[in-house]
Amino acid sequence: SIPPQNLGEACEAITLLIDNPEATIDDILQVMPGPDFPTGGIICGRYGIRKGYATGRSTITLRARTHFETEKQSDVIVVTEIPYMETRDRIREKLETLVRDDRVKGISRIVDLTDRNVPPWKVHLQIILKRDADKEVVLAQLFKFSPLQNTFSIILLALVGNRPETLSIKELIQQFILHRIDVIRRRTEFMLAEARKRKHTVEGLMIAQIDIDEVIKTIRNSPSRAEAKISLQGLQVDGKLIERALGEDGFKEYQNEQGVHEFYSLSANQAEAIVSMQLGSLANLEREKLSGEHQELLKAISEYLHLLSDEDHIRAVIREDMLLLQQKYSDKRRTDISEDELTDVNRDDLITEEPMVVTLSQRGYIKRTQLNTYQAQNRGGKGVKGVKTDEEDPIQHLFVSSTHSFLLFITNRGRVYWSKVYDLPLQGRTAKGRALVNLLSLQEDEAVSNCVAVREFDEERFLVMATRNGIIKKSPLSAYSRPQKGGIIAIKLDEEDELVEALIVSPGEDLLLATSDGMAIRFAQSDARSMGRNTRGVKGIKLSKSGHVIGMVIANPETCLLTVCENGYGKRTPFGFIPAAEENGDEEVSENDVELTAEPESDSDENTDEEQETRSGMHYRRQRRGGKGIRDIRTSARNGNAVDIIPVAENDEVLMVTRSGKIQRVRGCEISQVGRNTQGVRVITLDANDKLVSLARIPAEIVDEAENEEVISTPENNIQSPTDTNSSIDEIG
């Protein structure tokens, strides 16, 4: 039950394994995507194909090729190709039975308009529907109950060492290659033996020509044919005369076979060949013709020996045969492969897990790009073009995630929508992306404000959202575990407020909010109580008149906070560990407290007692949420306003994106580590009128995987995601 394949694709797959014996099933699927049935039709989904090619056993679903037409205000289902092993007569009879038994409703009549002169796989069946019939429903019923849809069992069974075995498609092709090697070797050995036999005969005739008169005289004087053979074998021929007749190369080959002697005699086979000829023919032998044939035989023998000397030479012959077959007999595929799976298949099993860079523009254009597209550069470089944008549509969000992650899109109306990363369009660096409105069922006047990646919806973790006006909202992550096409409410937003950041946090972690005027506040996530989805939240930071929240991060004490300003300047400052006394002294937040407003903390520009202790500002102390915070970075005329923050470890890398769409990848350790109340250093060189707008962190483990080329590409061996919240590629945003 081996399905038929397209000849050109099969030849290409064989060539692939000859050139690269380490090729995987996925590599083979690139050149031979699936069976190609002579009757055409459509294979539903790739899961059955891949399973069959990988294990040797599977079932695929085949459908007839259909389309809709309209005839006299009635819908018509037109069948132009049928599944393999089905006949149009059997299909027509089955359809008529279904209509007669009332198992399929809405069919008026069935007409076979097939031209009898066309190939047997070409059909033209018209299924004319009643005017009130739903064509999609009728077609679905026909696929379910009639031979317009059937299954084909793939069993890749072959004899291996005279024993039947079920093989993968790779093993099957490898066995075919070994079989062809054996056939070509035996064929070559036979042709070598025949060439050597003929060469020996030709050499005898050429030796006889040296003294043809003596040869003819010996034959005539012999009483019988047997005596003539014996007499000819007794003739002694000078080796120099034989060398002159055979040529230098021919004589060397002759000596290799006969040994080095002064005189040589004819063998029994050579004598038999001579006496078998008529004397007239023997006398008229053409020396040039024999010499030419002898040279051709020597050349052929040399080629045969070369071919047999190394198996790679035989593989090259097979490769050449495959190319000739492709050129002569290859034709287009008749069977298409649909992406729609009809069975409950986990799509994650079909998608290779790998890190992706996800970018979302201000106007809602989104795309994913392979992480290795962006190579690390030195700090202060100008970056590479990351996306085609204009000044009216800058990049709004950029982060690194996994193809298997969920993306939670939070809109300006506080609703959450879902999508898998692999469902986003995969495009190059400079591509614009695809409008989110074509991927999500957004409501009218609704736009995506933020998105966050998550792999598992743990009950112990929380989704924390921060708004531009300093409000934070914490709710259980498990509340968002059931994707709904129309989205669900995540937060109630005040008028003229908008979402800035959303994070996945775990118990015991601290959060840090930063503002556009360079302020920051660090507080325990437990300082904000967990709320239901349809709530407003509580105050996270007290803003100045000109300030607004630019970002929120998890304050991991083993990492640094990277803050950047719009003019391309930034700096790293350690978060710092929380002293045990301070950690144990946290007050629990009242469950009835809707909005805590802690005592405002003084600005770091004022010399408080704590600033006196840490005048260098080399860490962020924990405060109560709702205060003004402390100075994070100087927003001078040189720097401009602060625009984004991310947590960075020593071995992490950073992606920086500008308003014009340029993206630069730098190593985190190359950005200077300084105190809070500083201006920082240049981190990216901007063109005129360009601004730095966004950051994304590439965790060290992803950098290492990319450098070592250990990103696994087969669905059977998925990458294990990190469990640490702060280092997970699934939760950067």
Domain presence at residue 173 = no
- Whether 38 is in a domain gets the answer no
Distances (CA, A) of 62 to 335, 338, 638, 701: 9, 10, 66, 43
Mean pLDDT of the chain: 81
Specify the CATH number for the domain of residue 296: 1.10.268.10
Q: Which one of 147, 180, 214 terminates a domain?
A: 147
260 shares its domain with 352: no
CA distance 274 to 203: 11
Question: Are 142 and 248 within one domain?
Answer: no
Q: Are residues 704 and 595 both part of a single domain?
A: yes
- What are the pLDDT digits (tens) for 72-86? 888 999 999 999 988
Residue 265: inside a domain, yes or no?
yes
Work out how many domains the chain is built from and give that number. Answer: 3
Three-state SS for 702?
A: helix
Do residues 354 and 306 both lie within one domain?
no
52 in a structural domain: no
Q: Is the pLDDT reported for residue 589 higher than 50?
A: no
Tell me if 165 is assigned to some domain: no
**Residue 282: band (very low, low, confident or very high) from pLDDT cuts 50, 70, 90:** low
pLDDT of residue 203: 82
Strand partners, 499: 467
Tokens linked to 623: 């405060």
Q: What residue type is 171 in one-letter code?
A: E
Determine the 3-state secondary structure of 465 from DSSP: strand
CATH code: domain of residue 476: 2.120.10.90
- Shared-domain flag, residues 645 and 539: yes
pLDDT at 280: 64
Q: Are residues 305 and 357 in the same domain?
A: no
- 534 and 407 belong to one structural domain: yes
CATH value at residue 129:
3.30.1360.40
Q: Is 53 a member of any domain? A: no
Amino acid at 182: D
The number of residues in the chain equals: 733
Question: How do strand 415-420 and strand 488-489 relate by DSSP bridges?
Answer: antiparallel
Residues 543 and 420 in one domain: yes
Same domain, 452 and 571: yes
Enclosing domain of residue 580: 347-731
Please determine, for residue 378, whether its predicted confidence score (pLDDT) is greater than 70: no
Same domain, 393 and 470: yes
The sheet with strand 395-402 has its strands ordered as: 395-402, 355-361, 365-370, 434-435
Give the pLDDT band of residue 316 (cuts 50, 70, 90): very high
Q: What is the pTM of this model?
A: 0.47
My answer on whether 304 and 354 are in the same domain is no
pLDDT tier for residue 547 given thresholds of 50, 70 and 90 = very high
Q: Are residues 360 and 289 in the same domain?
A: no
- Position 457 scores a pLDDT of 87
